[in-house]
Chains A and B, each alone.
Chain A
Amino acid sequence: DIVLTQSPTTLSVTPGETVSLSCRASHSIGTNLHWYQQKTNESPRLLIKYASQSISGIPSRFSASGSGTDFTLNINNVEFDDVSSYFCQQTQSWPRTFGGGTKLELK
């Protein structure tokens, strides 16, 4: 199985900051990597697909990059509404696997 390792586990930031979340794959997965946001007691929401492709309705302050084994989700000018857990997922192979998540908190 492909293991996805996300770092950091928790990130505490000040509103207005720009942050980068990392997702590293145990094997190369091309660009078959997707990012989800999950607020407390809500369903996950797709933020970015195929490593860097934007999703309609998602604020432009969310962007992402990467390929192979190293991926990054960037959030520019973090807002209070961004307090969530962020998960990456690979669909290069079965079983689909998720990273352990990064929890974003505000100072």
Chain B
Amino acid sequence: EVQLQQSGPEVGRPGSSVKISCKASGYTFTDYVMNWVKQSPGQGLEWIGWIDPEYGSTDYAEKFKKKATLTADTSSNTAYIQLSSLTSEDTATYFCAREVGLGAQDYWGQGVMVTVSS
């Protein structure tokens, strides 16, 4: 069974960084790219970027190029997103989602709530 298990909720102070994990199981981690999606409270979905775990290659939406850093550890089948220079605009739920063949995201993590607060 494919599962994406994300880490727990985070609280970060303005200006700090947080790092969220997404541990994959039930499939070959390097066979699928991993997307990250942001959902601000009560809002829609925003694509942040993706990482190809096999090669470590990444692509980001322009808006998130200075905000997010995507990495992957193939030894632990875990993808990560680091969010830097936190502001209140970063308060949101962050999802990881597996992408099938440059297409739909077929499996999603449960989401991680990040709250930016002093």
Interface residues of A (CB under 8 A from B): 32, 34, 36, 38, 43-46, 49-50, 55, 85, 87, 89, 91, 94-101
Contacts and interface: CB of A to CB of B under 8 A. Distances in A.
Q: Which 4 A-B pairs have the closest CB atoms?
A: A49-B104, A95-B61, A43-B108, A34-B104
Given A50-B103, A96-B35, A44 B44 contact: no
A44 B45 contact: yes
22 contacts: A32-B103, A34-B103, A34-B105, A36-B105, A43-B95, A43-B108, A43-B110, A44-B105, A44-B108, A46-B104, A46-B106, A49-B106, A50-B103, A89-B105, A91-B99, A91-B103, A95-B59, A95-B60, A96-B50, A97-B47, A98-B44, A100-B44
Given A95-B61, A96-B35, A99-B44, A44 B103 contact: no
Q: How large is the interface on B (under 10, 10 to 19, 20 to 34, 35 or more residues)?
A: 20 to 34
Interface in B86-103: 95, 97, 99-100, 102-103
Contacts of A44: 37, 45, 95, 97, 105, 108
A21 B61 CA distance: 27
A97 B106 CA distance: 16
Given A96-B47, A100-B44, A43 B104 contact: no
B111 to A, nearest CB: 6
B46 interface: yes
Interface of B: 35, 37, 44-47, 49-50, 59-62, 95, 97, 99-100, 102-106, 108-111
A31 to B, nearest CB: 10
Contacts of A34: 103-105
A87 B100 CA distance: 18
B104 A95 contact: no
A98 B106 CA distance: 15
Contact of B47 (A36, A49, A85, A95): A95
B44 A50 contact: no
Nearest to A48: B104
